[in-house]
Amino acid sequence: MLTATSLLSGCATITTGTRQSFEVMVPGAESVQCTLQKPGYGPVTVAASQSISIPRSEDPLSVRCAHPGYESASLTVEPYVQDRAKFETPMGMLIDYLSGARYEYPAQVTLTLNPVLAALKLDAHP
């Protein structure tokens, strides 16, 4: 007879949960605001270097950071299947797939914001 424990052994939904910590680093730029978004989540604005809890899923996460005086930057973060989720029972795989817990994003990403070049001022007077 199968027990619930054996059906769910290794189930990431139980062992790691359906959320994870995520952080956007922006070196050299302070007070930068970043927007996170994916289907069913966001947009959520967070300060760079601030850890936030995001839901796990198979959907790519869009990250866009902006700050006055800098060009904005963005990237798409692709999730990957957690190693422990690769060796589950079929029932555990199904539960983790449906909950999103099977997937994980990198815990931290880095974006570089480049300063906006000041426009050249031409003196129109001779």
- Considering only the C-alpha atoms of the chain, give the largest distance between any 2 of them, rounded to a whole number of Å: 95
- Digit-by-digit pLDDT tens for the chain (126 residues) are 444 444 444 577 676 778 999 999 999 877 899 999 999 999 999 999 999 999 999 999 999 999 999 999 999 999 998 666 555 666 766 776 677 678 899 999 999 999 998 544 444 455
Would residue 29 count as lying in a domain?
A: yes
The SS3 of residue 95 is: helix
Fill in the amino acid letter for 41: Y
Q: How much is the pLDDT for 120?
A: 41
Q: How much is the pLDDT for 103?
A: 86
- Number of domains composing the chain: 1
Q: Are strands 52-55 and 61-66 parallel, antiparallel or unpaired?
A: unpaired
Q: What is the CATH number of the domain that holds 21?
A: 2.60.40
Q: How much is the pLDDT for 125?
A: 52
Would residue 49 count as lying in a domain?
A: yes
Q: How much is the pLDDT for 123?
A: 47
pTM, whole model, 2 decimals?
0.75
Would residue 115 count as lying in a domain?
A: no
Would residue 38 count as lying in a domain?
A: yes
Give the residue numbers spanning the domain of 66.
Answer: 10-106
Q: How much is the pLDDT for 30?
A: 74
* Pairwise CA distance, residues 6 & 47, whole Å: 42
Distance, CA of 17 to chain centre: 16
